[in-house]
Each structure stands twice: as C-alpha cells, then as structure tokens.
Amino acid sequence: MRSLRLPPRRLLNKHALSARSLTVDGVTLTLGELAVRFGCSLRGDPNVAVNHVASLESADEAALAFLANAKYRPHLATTRAAAVIVDTATVAACPVAALIAKDPYLTYARVAALLHPQPQFVPGIHITAVVDSSAVIEGSAYIGAHVVIEAGVRIGERTMIGPGCVVGRDVTIGADTRLLAKVSVLDRTVIGDRCVLNPGAVLGSEGFGFAPDKQGWVKVPQLGGVRIGNDVEIGANTTIDRGAIGDTVIEDGVKLDNQIQIAHNVRIGAHTAIAACTGVSGSTTIGKRCMIAGQVGIAGHLSICDNVIVTGKTMVSASIREPGMYSGSLHAEEARKFRRNAARFAQLDELAKELRRLIGKKQKLGGNE
Amino acid sequence: MRSLRLPPRRLLNKHALSARSLTVDGVTLTLGELAVRFGCSLRGDPNVAVNHVASLESADEAALAFLANAKYRPHLATTRAAAVIVDTATVAACPVAALIAKDPYLTYARVAALLHPQPQFVPGIHITAVVDSSAVIEGSAYIGAHVVIEAGVRIGERTMIGPGCVVGRDVTIGADTRLLAKVSVLDRTVIGDRCVLNPGAVLGSEGFGFAPDKQGWVKVPQLGGVRIGNDVEIGANTTIDRGAIGDTVIEDGVKLDNQIQIAHNVRIGAHTAIAACTGVSGSTTIGKRCMIAGQVGIAGHLSICDNVIVTGKTMVSASIREPGMYSGSLHAEEARKFRRNAARFAQLDELAKELRRLIGKKQKLGGNE
Amino acid sequence: MRSLRLPPRRLLNKHALSARSLTVDGVTLTLGELAVRFGCSLRGDPNVAVNHVASLESADEAALAFLANAKYRPHLATTRAAAVIVDTATVAACPVAALIAKDPYLTYARVAALLHPQPQFVPGIHITAVVDSSAVIEGSAYIGAHVVIEAGVRIGERTMIGPGCVVGRDVTIGADTRLLAKVSVLDRTVIGDRCVLNPGAVLGSEGFGFAPDKQGWVKVPQLGGVRIGNDVEIGANTTIDRGAIGDTVIEDGVKLDNQIQIAHNVRIGAHTAIAACTGVSGSTTIGKRCMIAGQVGIAGHLSICDNVIVTGKTMVSASIREPGMYSGSLHAEEARKFRRNAARFAQLDELAKELRRLIGKKQKLGGNE
C-alpha cells in the first residue's frame, strides 16, 4: 500500500465541488456477449442489446429481466423484456429471448452488477472534512463533506468515506470499502477490503458491561476493539460493540442487515448472513455459513455451529451443536382464536398432569377390558 | 413550484446566526373561541382564556386539559385546569369548565396544535451547509448547519432540513416537510409534502439482497429507490431500504414510529400506522388503514389486506386476506410457571397424540357403557 | 458552575488540532498496592507489578486477569497472567498469584478502570463546531468537530461533546458527561452528570401520538421533554422520545443498552438496567433496580414495580405488582419438532376441551369402578 500523505492541493474546493462528483458510464451489451460471459445458453437473437435490468412487469425492449421465484411466474407471459434469465424448466414458457442459467438469481446478480456499475467518484478530500494530520489516506480514496478523521487513521485505496462519517482514532479501513454516509467507526476498529457500511451503522460503541454493587452498577471498562473482515456488508443503523477484553470479530463475507445488534466479544463466522433486527448477546460465537432470520434473539456465552439456519423471531437460549434448521416462534392467528389457545397455554402443565393421571387410571381400567 | 436558485447573499452568516433562529408566538384563546372553532359545547364562562395545554394533574388556571383514557379519570376531580375537554358521559364529573367533544382526544390534538404552533424558522442556508450548485432550493426553505445536499436535489417551499442531515443525489423533498436532524436520505429518494422525519432515520439504504454461491454471497445490486407520500411521519432511527428493482413505497398519511425496519420493495398503504421496533421483510405489501403494533415481524413476499390490526410482538408468516385483529405472542408470567408450561409445549405433539389414543380407546370403551 | 462564555481564542485551530487531542497516561501498580486499595487478600509477591488487564487466555506476565464465570475456569490452569482476581472457592486452583475478592467481577471492574483510565482531552471548541452565541459552555468542556450547539444550551464542566453531535435549543448537559459521537439531543432535553451516550442515540424525538380521524391521523403535538439523571448510560442508536405532555424520565444510574426504544412519558426507576433491542411503550413506569433482558416488549400505560427481572424476548402486557422473575418466550428447537408442537398449539383450546370432556366421562365411568 502506497502510503502517501495528501498534499493540500488535493483538497476539493467547496465551490467547485460541493458534494460528491460521480460519473456513471452506461453499459450496453448484446445477449450473445452476456451468454458467453456468464456461461448461459441463449435462445434468441445474439445481436439484441440490453442496457439495464428490470422486473418482468416493468421491463421494456432494452431491458433484461429474470425469473427466480415461482410467485412471479404469472408475469412471464406478458413481459416486454428483450430477454429473461430463466432456468431450463421455465424456458418453454418464456415468450421472448431467454438466457438459460442453472441459477437464474445468481446469474441475474452478476449481470445486474455489470450493467449497473457503481458510480465512480473523483478521489480527494472534501474541503469541509476534518482530517487529522497523522492520518494516512490513499490518494485514490474519497473523504466526503463534514467527515471527521481522527489521529492515526489509515484509509485504503479507492475507499469512499461518505458525507458525515466519523472515523475514530487509530481506525484502519482497507481498500475498495464504502461507508455510504453518517457511519460512526470508533477508536481502533479495523475494517477490511470491499466492505459496504450503510448509514447510521455504529462500530465500536461501548459494550454493555456493568458489575452490580450495593449502590447500583459499576461500569466494566470496555477495552477491546472491533475487527471486520473483507467483503462484509453492514446494514443501516446496525450496531457492533467493542469487546470488553479482546475483540468483537466479524469474519470475511458476513452480511448483516439493518438494525442488528452485535454485543461485545461476539464472533460471527465467515459467510454467515443475518437478517434485520436480530440481536446477538455478548461472547456468543456463531459459525460459518449460518443463516439467521430477522428479529431472532441469541443469548450470551453460546456457541452456534456452522451451517445453522434459525427462522424468524426465534429465541436461541442454548448452544446449537448440530447443523440444521431451528425455530421457536408462534405465528399470527385471528386474535380471539389465538387468545383462547394462549389461555390454555397458561394451563398447559396442569392439563398435561390431568392427562397423565387419566392415562394412569385408564391403564388400570384398560386392564379390565 | 418556483425554482429559484439561492443567491449567495442568502447564506446565513455563521456568527450572526450560528444555529437555527426560531420564533414562537404565544397563542391565547378564550373557551368561547375554542368551542366555536372546534364545534364543542361549552359548560362554563366563555370569556376565560387559556394559553397552553397540560395534563389533568399538572394543569394550572391558564391550562386546558383533557380526559380521553378512563385510567386517568381519578385525576379529574382534583384538576386545577381552566377547563377540561371531556365527552358527554364525563362532563357531570368535571369540577371546572368543560369543552364537550364527541372525541376528546381528537379535539385535544387540534387544540394543542393551535395553542402550541411549530416554531417558525428564518429561511436560508446555514453557511456551514454544503450545497451542490445544481441543487434547487426554494427561498422559503431552511438548510441547517453541517447539512450536505448533493447534486440534483430539489427542496420545496418552507421545508426544514435540520442540522447534520445528508441529502443524496437527485433526491426530491416536497413542501412543509421537516427533517429534524441527522437524517440520511440517499440518492433518488422522493419525499412528499408535510412529512416529519426524526433524527437518525435512514431512507434509501441498500436492500439486503445476496445470491448464494459456492464461495459465499454475491451481491444483488439494489437499483430501485424509495418513494414517500405526503403527510408521512418517520420515527427516530427507522430505516427504509431502496428497492432492488422498482421502488419501496410508503403511501400518504402513513405513520412509522421509531426503529422500524422496512425492507426493499415493501409497499405500505395509506394511513397505516406502525409502532416501534417492527420489521417488514422484502416485497411485502401492507394495505391501507392498518394498525401494526410494536415488535411485530412480517415475513417477505406477503400481502396484508386493508384494515388489519396486528397486536404486539406477533410474527406474521402468511398473507392476511380478511380485515380483523391478529395475534401471535404469549405474555409474561411468573418465570417458574412459564417454564413449566413451556416444557409441556415441547411435549405438546406427544401429549395430543396420547389424548387422541385415549379418546379412541375411550370411545371403544364408551360403547360398553 | 462557573458559567463563563468562551472567548474566541479558545477555538481550536483546525490545522493545529484537526480532531480530538487525547493523552493517556499508562498506569502501573503492584499487587500489594492493588490488594490494599481494593480490600483483597493477596496470595503471592506484593512487589509484582501489572499495567493492564487481560483475559485468562491472552494474559502475559504484566497482566491482571480475573475469573468470575465458571465457564472460563478451564483457562485458569494455563494462564500466564501475573495474577488473577478470584474468590476464595477458586484460589486453590490458581497457578499464579491471586487477588482474593468476595466479588471478583466487581473488583475487576474497579481495577480495570484504574489501570485503563479514560483518555484525557484538551478542553476547547473545535473550529468547525457551530455554537450559538447564547450557549454557555464551561471552560473545561470539549466540543468536537462538526458539532452543532443551538441557542440556550448549557454544557457542564469536563463534559465531552464528540464529533458530529447535535445539541438542540435550551438543552442542559451536566458535568463529566460524554457524548461519544453523532448523538442527537433535541430541544429542552436535560442530561445529568457522569453520563455516557453512545453514537446514534437520539433523545427528544417526537413521540408517536396520533388521534384517528375519518381522513386519517391527526398529530398530537409532543410538547414535553426528556430528563436524564446522573450516571446514566445510553447505548448506540437507542431512542428516547420526548413526552406528549410532561416529560419522559430516566432516573439516576439507569443503564440502557443499544437500540432500545423508550416511548413518550415513560419513567424508568433508578439503577434499572435494560438490555438491547427492548421497547417500552408510552406512559409505562418501570421501578427501581429492575433488570430487563433483550428484545423484551412492554406495553403502554403499565406499572412495573421495583426489583423485577424480565427474561429475554418476553412480552409484558399487564402491570407487574410483585418483585420476581417473569418470562414469556419459547426457545429454539429443531424446526420440524417445533412446527409439530406449534401446530398443536393452534388446536390447544380444542384439545383441552376434549380432555375435560374425557375427564367428565371418566369420572362418571370411574364411579363404576
């Protein structure tokens, strides 16, 4: 990593460039080029060009659509897309050109990224950014308006620190990472390459550690840090506390949705994905390639093994040692019906005892049959 | 909309006006004026004046109080308010003057708004705001300290962008809307008239879309936007993701409390109200005039019809086709009792089978009676 | 409180000090000094010095470790720490010097705070901060980069307002309080001494109050404030709404974790601790010294007495009058098993009726035994 300090002339002039200067180059490709590039079979004219993706319903004749969820199959017959990414089972029903893929959603993800590249920014440091003179910022990086960069920070190549972010002392951020806006990264946090942090995310807040005393609570100093691997995405307003002693660790490829809470000293294994509003309590370890749905609660000091799926709103209160799917939440019913059943739940132990007594008697009685 | 560009002289001088300059004019009205204006019957002296609202307990002789929740009725007898807004059933118990309304809470809401008008701001752009030269900001609008307004933004008449907000590229915000502070509105979001956005709200964050691949997750580009209607309120730290393809839509009059998560491509129908900490998963459609309580979870790709009520902490995992009230959460009990019942829940299928076996035998046996 | 206005020369120069200037003095103490200071028995050489705390696993010979959770006892035998804080039951198993304490975790908290003092900041107002000329800021306070301080604000001695915070009109903040970064404190909020507010916390957002009308919802003006006592900690992205009439009140010593939602007119009693993602609905009162776990939901207009413990993900829908522990959530099970039991839950009222019918018949039948 070339670690040049930015000369003053690289400061972006406020009046010449009052916010981010972005350029997006349109991309146009033929179906033939797409088929070759993504290893699809093509049914249709390879010279037809597309320049954007769209849904089956809204697509026009320059658009590429896809079908990955059977729910949207009714829209296939009427689509006006130039072509649709489908699997072999669906191609016969496709009324327009078809790019045939084993996994249409995955192929769609890749084609969409190609047709809709990230806008490119002009590197530089906005004149309103406050950057400590000891920070080392690569020349290809962008530091936005009203950003604060404290002492000892290192920012890698082509990384974008969007408007209003705060980057605390001795933070290290890798290359090609994007902090979209108003992200708080507190002291000593380490963030890898190619990460995306959405607005309002907080990394390195103080963990919730207090020892009870007669007079109330005594704060336990939160001395650890936060380490984020490569290719991690962090949703809007998600919070990740620093460790109490030692670090909170998010491994490579982890995807965290919005409003997730990760407590101190949690470790989340590589390529695990967690949906919105889930909370993970302190010192719990989650394995690799897990999928945790939304509003799940995971208690502290647990160990969840690799390849675990937890369905929405489940409370995980014990370690999970076997891969598989785990559930724990009841589902909505018409309210009066639910309340009647919930009232019986409150009698459940008593009902079970009555049943067992009855079975006992019955077995005696049954002996008389 | 007159779309004048702001001449430089409208920049607010930092030292003359370092933050918002607000004025609030006190409002004093007589009970007679209030009765006429709001269509109430008055029991008492029409010339008595009030200048503020207060609770029954804290009211003084210049205050107007109200009684709408039976829980607070015990405070009526001892109130020192000038007058109380009551309904016909309660007026006899009111020891002071009474404004008699069909819906005391609704009348209270309107009277309070009249007696306590929003502070008026002095229009202008704070000198520390970073405003792209291509942005079009109405002359009656206010842009606060340390705000960032990117290229192509349009801000309507009398709209207030409070301190520390970020407004991304090509965002459109209507008239009379207030972003209180530190709101993030990302690229291409559209916000209507008379909206209120509380601090920390994030609109247009990247939706949570990833396609599984052998190596991990491939990001699905999030290409859509967010459209917010008129008269929408959005709570503190609530997050609304941009659509994957097509937009996430919040229709007119929707009220969202704090810390709500709205995923990509959700649509919320007009006048629906959602309480705090609720999460709505991707591509779900919620109808009009629904009331969703707090901490509710709604799964993805569902359809909830109009006029549905969902009670607190319910998990909605299937579409709802009939208006009505829906529930799904158990309630707190003394812990040992709850745990005994929860242990029986884990045996419930077995218990039910035992019961059915017993009924089967019994019926055979009963044949002998 | 000396209430001097800051002379212009106290503005920190942007280029001389672009962000916070912090100093941390290392602290080294002998085991003997620690034993005397914290009232521990010492087993080992009183002249051995330590200069930091560490976990049993990562400790080196200058580190002090502790053992408070039996789960970590296996690491005791192999620790390389200079000494370990243990209780009398564990001291025999400690292979290195031991500081013997009645409550090792509490003693650890105090020792750690002594060995790792908060970094000291250089008082002053960053040159990019926007501070209204009517604000009164103690000379020992620090106001960070891109902070906005509105009219009528008072900031106490040695208080730190970290980068990017917004402090609204007529807010009062006491002494020795730290707003770490990007905290929003809206108009008229009062915060006591020695508080810690983590990034993204919002105090004084508008409560969620709307009266239903034929045309939709009519906003109920939110006219109250927020009052925070002394020694309160508020987690990242936690939100506390202002009262509708009267204030929302957080009493002394309350500890709130991340992403908690406190609605309007809630009162939380002294020394109550609440874990992450919990929501408390409007006008509910929680007593003193309660412990509320994570993702708990508490309905509105309730009263929870002192010394109540609520376990994770519980829905509290009625007032609690007796101290004790309360629960309400089921726990994760293997998904197919859980679903079978949940299907039976949906039949529970019917099953209970069948059981009762059977018991009725049985008793008749039993009469024949």
- The full DSSP string for B117-159 is PPPEEPPEEETT-EE-TT-EE-TT-EE-TT-EE-TT-EE-TT-
Residue B5, in any domain of the structure: no
Contacts of A106 in chain B (CB under 8 A): 211-213, 218
Give the rounded percent of residues in chain A with a pLDDT score beyond 90: 85
Domain count, chain A: 3
Q: String of b and e for B295-306 (b: at least 16 CB within 10 Å)? A: bbbbbbebebbe
Q: How many CB pairs under 8 A join A and C?
A: 251
Q: Is A353 left (phi over 0), alpha (psi -120 to 50) or beta?
A: alpha
Give the nearest chain A residue to C368 (CA atoms). Answer: A365
User: Are residue C33 and residue C138 in the same domain, yes or no?
Assistant: no
Give the nearest chain C residue to A325 (CA atoms). Answer: C335
User: Are residue C264 and residue C298 in the same domain, yes or no?
Assistant: yes
Average pLDDT, chain B: 91
Query: Between β-strands B41-43 and B216-219, what pairing exists: parallel, antiparallel or unpaired?
Result: unpaired
Residue B6, in any domain of the structure: no
Please report the pLDDT score of residue B150 as a whole number. Answer: 96
Compute CA C109 distance to the chain's CA centroid, rounded to the nearest angstrom. 15
Q: Are B125 and B145 in contact (CB under 8 A)?
A: no
Given a cut of 50, is residue B99 above it in pLDDT?
A: yes
Closest CA to A114 of A211, A33, A18: A33
User: Are residue B100 and residue B133 in the same domain, yes or no?
Assistant: no
Average pLDDT over residues A240-246: 95
Quote the minimal CA–CA distance from A282 to chain B in Å: 21
Tokens describing residue A243: 């460790």
Quote the minimal CA–CA distance from B158 to chain A in Å: 23
Q: What CATH number should be reported for the domain holding residue B37?
A: 3.40.1390.10
Last residue within a domain, chosen from A115, A143, A161: A115
Quote the minimal CA–CA distance from B232 to chain A in Å: 20
Please report the pLDDT score of residue A328 as a whole number. Answer: 97
Query: Between β-strands A120-121 and A97-100, what pairing exists: parallel, antiparallel or unpaired?
Result: unpaired
Alpha-carbon distance A37 to B153, whole Å?
37
Closest CA to A132 of A165, A168, A177: A168
Give the nearest chain C residue to B341 (CA atoms). Answer: C330
B200 in contact with A at a CB cutoff of 8 Å? yes
A311 in contact with C at a CB cutoff of 8 Å? yes
Integer Rg of chain A from CA: 27
Quote the minimal CA–CA distance from B32 to chain A in Å: 45
Per DSSP, B10 falls in state: G
Quote the minimal CA–CA distance from A274 to chain B in Å: 10
Residue A233, in any domain of the structure: yes
Catalytic residues of B: 264
A217 in contact with B at a CB cutoff of 8 Å? no
Residue B104, in any domain of the structure: yes
Q: Which tens digits make up the pLDDT trace of A51-63?
A: 999 999 999 999 9
**3 state SS of B216:** strand
Last residue within a domain, chosen from B115, B133, B165: B115
Contacts of C352 in chain A (CB under 8 A): 344, 347, 351
User: Are residue B203 and residue B296 in the same domain, yes or no?
Assistant: yes
Residue-by-residue DSSP string for C44-56: S-TT-EE-EE--T
Give the nearest chain C residue to B232 (CA atoms). Answer: C217
Per DSSP, A70 falls in state: G
Please report the pLDDT score of residue C22 as a whole number. Answer: 57
Catalytic residues of C: 264
Closest CA to A173 of A183, A164, A157: A157
Instruction: Among B69, B113, B164, select the one facing C166 at the smallest CB separation.
Output: B164
Instruction: Among C18, C21, C332, select the one facing A326 at the smallest CB separation.
Output: C332
Please report the pLDDT score of residue B365 as a whole number. Answer: 55
Alpha-carbon distance C279 to B28, whole Å?
37
B116, B176, B348, B354: best to mutate for the C interface, most C CBs within 10 A: B348
**3 state SS of B217:** strand
Q: Which tens digits make up the pLDDT trace of A286-333?
A: 999 999 999 999 999 999 999 999 999 999 999 999 999 999 999 999
Tell me the longest C-alpha to C-alpha distance in chain A. 101
Q: Which tens digits make up the pLDDT trace of C241-283?
A: 999 999 999 999 999 999 999 999 999 999 999 999 999 999 9
User: Are residue A209 and residue A267 in the same domain, yes or no?
Assistant: yes
Confidence tier at B360 by pLDDT (50, 70, 90):
confident
**AA identity, residue B303:** S
Q: Are B102 and B110 in contact (CB under 8 A)?
A: no
Residue C10, in any domain of the structure: no
User: Are residue A179 and residue A288 in the same domain, yes or no?
Assistant: yes
Alpha-carbon distance C274 to C256, whole Å?
5
Q: Are B329 and C329 in contact (CB under 8 A)?
A: no
Q: Which chains touch A (3 or more CB pairs under 8 A)?
A: B, C
Q: Which tens digits make up the pLDDT trace of B100-109?
A: 999 999 999 9
Please report the pLDDT score of residue A211 as a whole number. Answer: 96
Cα separations (Å) of B137 from A123, A144, B173, B179? 27, 21, 10, 15
C121, C238, C274, C295: best to mutate for the A interface, most A CBs within 10 A: C295
Q: The tokens 């990230």 sit on which residue? A: A118
Per DSSP, C93 falls in state: G
Alpha-carbon distance A182 to B320, whole Å?
37
Please report the pLDDT score of residue A2 as a whole number. Answer: 35
Quote the minimal CA–CA distance from B31 to chain A in Å: 43
Alpha-carbon distance A162 to B48, whole Å?
56
Q: Are C200 and C182 in contact (CB under 8 A)?
A: yes
User: Are residue B251 and residue B283 in the same domain, yes or no?
Assistant: yes
User: Are residue C186 and residue C278 in the same domain, yes or no?
Assistant: yes
B235 in contact with C at a CB cutoff of 8 Å? yes
Query: Between β-strands A210-213 and A216-219, what pairing exists: parallel, antiparallel or unpaired?
Result: antiparallel
Give the full edge-to-edge strand order of the sheet including A303-304. A136-137, A154-155, A172-173, A190-191, A226-228, A248-250, A267-268, A285-286, A303-304
Given a cut of 50, is residue A367 above it in pLDDT?
A: no
B218 in contact with A at a CB cutoff of 8 Å? yes
A261 in contact with C at a CB cutoff of 8 Å? yes
Please report the pLDDT score of residue A366 as a whole number. Answer: 53
Residue-by-residue DSSP string for B190-206: EE-SS-EE-TT-EEEEP
Q: Where are the beta strands (DSSP E) in A198-319?
A: 202-205, 210-213, 216-219, 226-228, 233-234, 239-241, 248-250, 255-256, 261-262, 267-268, 273-274, 279-280, 285-286, 291-292, 297-298, 303-304, 308-310, 315-316
Given a cut of 80, is residue B22 above it in pLDDT?
A: no
Last residue within a domain, chosen from B115, B147, B176: B115
Q: Which chains touch B (3 or more CB pairs under 8 A)?
A: A, C
Q: Which one of the listed residues A116, A146, A264, A301 is annotated catalytic?
A: A264
Average pLDDT, chain A: 91
Residue B9, in any domain of the structure: no
Confidence tier at A362 by pLDDT (50, 70, 90):
low
**AA identity, residue B231:** D
Alpha-carbon distance A179 to A165, whole Å?
8
Residue C15, in any domain of the structure: no
Q: The tokens 């003997």 sit on which residue? A: C32
- C210 and B258 within 8 Å at the Cβ level: the answer is no
Q: How many CB pairs under 8 A join B and C?
A: 253
Tokens describing residue B141: 């609008």
Contacts of C331 in chain A (CB under 8 A): 315-318, 328
Compute CA C180 distance to the chain's CA centroid, rounded to the nearest angstrom. 14
Instruction: Among C132, C148, C344, select the one facing B164 at the smallest CB separation.
Output: C148
Q: What CATH number should be reported for the domain holding residue B191?
A: 2.160.10.10
Residues 139-178 of B with CB under 8 A from A: 146, 148-151, 164, 166, 168-169
User: Are residue A293 and residue A222 in the same domain, yes or no?
Assistant: yes
- C330 and B345 within 8 Å at the Cβ level: the answer is yes
C58 in contact with B at a CB cutoff of 8 Å? no
Please report the pLDDT score of residue B2 as a whole number. Answer: 35
C262, C285, C315: best to mutate for the B interface, most B CBs within 10 A: C315
Quote the minimal CA–CA distance from C275 to chain A in Å: 8
Q: Which tens digits make up the pLDDT trace of B307-318?
A: 999 999 999 999
Q: Are C199 and A166 in contact (CB under 8 A)?
A: yes
**Active site includes A264?**
yes
**What count of other Cβ atoms lies within 10 Å of the Cβ of residue A49?**
14
Instruction: Among B164, B258, B335, select the one facing C325 at the smallest CB separation.
Output: B335
Give the nearest chain C residue to A334 (CA atoms). Answer: C346
Helix (H) or strand (E) holding B308: strand B308-310
Residue B264, in any domain of the structure: yes
Helix (H) or strand (E) holding B84: strand B83-86
Tokens describing residue C304: 């929870």
Given a cut of 90, is residue B367 above it in pLDDT?
A: no
Tokens describing residue B220: 């699905």
Tell me the longest C-alpha to C-alpha distance in chain B. 101
Q: How many CA atoms lie within 13 A of A39 on its CB side?
A: 6
Closest CA to B29 of B66, B65, B64: B64
Contacts of B314 in chain A (CB under 8 A): 332
**3 state SS of A365:** helix
Q: Which residues of chain C have pLDDT under 50?
A: 1-18, 367-369
Q: Which tens digits make up the pLDDT trace of A249-295?
A: 999 999 999 999 999 999 999 999 999 999 999 999 999 999 999 99
Alpha-carbon distance A132 to A153, whole Å?
8
A258, A334, A337: best to mutate for the B interface, most B CBs within 10 A: A258
Contacts of C328 in chain B (CB under 8 A): 329-333, 338
Instruction: Among B21, B164, B259, select the one facing C261 at the smallest CB separation.
Output: B259
User: Are residue C88 and residue C188 in the same domain, yes or no?
Assistant: no
- A277 and B277 within 8 Å at the Cβ level: the answer is yes
Please report the pLDDT score of residue C365 as a whole number. Answer: 56
Alpha-carbon distance C202 to C261, whole Å?
10
B322 — phi, psi (to 5°)? -115, 130
Give the nearest chain B residue to A126 (CA atoms). Answer: B130
Query: Helix A348-366 and helix A335-345: axis angle, to 10°?
Result: 70
Tokens describing residue C99: 């500081």
Average pLDDT over residues B141-150: 97
- A351 and C352 within 8 Å at the Cβ level: the answer is yes
Integer Rg of chain C from CA: 27
Domain enclosing residue B183, as ranges: 121-326
Cα separations (Å) of C294 from A248, C258, C276? 19, 10, 5
Give the nearest chain C residue to A134 (CA atoms). Answer: C18
Compute CA B359 distance to the chain's CA centroid, rounded to the nearest angstrom. 51
Range in A10-19, A143-152, B329-338, C50-59 with the lowest mean pLDDT: A10-19
C50 — phi, psi (to 5°)? -125, 150
User: Are residue A312 and residue A190 in the same domain, yes or no?
Assistant: yes
**3 state SS of B172:** strand
A271 in contact with B at a CB cutoff of 8 Å? yes
- Which residues neighbour C195 within 8 Å (Cβ) at sequence distance 6 or greater? C174, C177, C178, C228, C230, C231, C232, C233, C234
Q: Are B306 and B290 in contact (CB under 8 A)?
A: yes
Q: Are A7 and A133 in contact (CB under 8 A)?
A: no
Please report the pLDDT score of residue B215 as a whole number. Answer: 87
User: Are residue C286 and residue C360 in the same domain, yes or no?
Assistant: no
Tell me if ipTM is over 0.90. Answer: yes
Confidence tier at A360 by pLDDT (50, 70, 90):
confident
pTM of the model: 0.94
Q: Which tens digits make up the pLDDT trace of A185-212?
A: 999 999 999 999 999 999 999 999 999 9
Closest CA to C314 of B347, B342, A238, B345: B342
